[in-house]
Amino acid sequence: MSGFARAFLKGGAGAFVGPLWSVGDRPAQTFVESFYVALLNGLSLSEATNLARSSARESGDATWLAYTVYGHPFLKLESSFCIGNERAKDYTVDV
């Protein structure tokens, strides 16, 4: 486990997501958007990670391999999670 991941998890974070090497803004955006929308739609940490890696791979950038996720694979966001006034169930994933 890398230094940043260890520090965040020891500090109480439920999960850590980060690249193993530097990635460009556009590939990072593809991964992150897919990952968090999947979590907001009720997928587990492992399912969201796999979906996000697939989305990044399909975008044609090899950095989809860079992303590492530490946390319980079945972790899910609580259903009471909200962004602003919108509930998580209001978000969709385009696959």
Segment 54-75, tens digit of pLDDT: 998 998 888 888 988 998 888 8
pLDDT per residue as tens digits for the range 8-51: 888 998 889 988 888 889 889 999 999 999 999 999 999 999 99
Question: Is 81 in contact with 88 (CB distance < 8 Å)?
Answer: yes
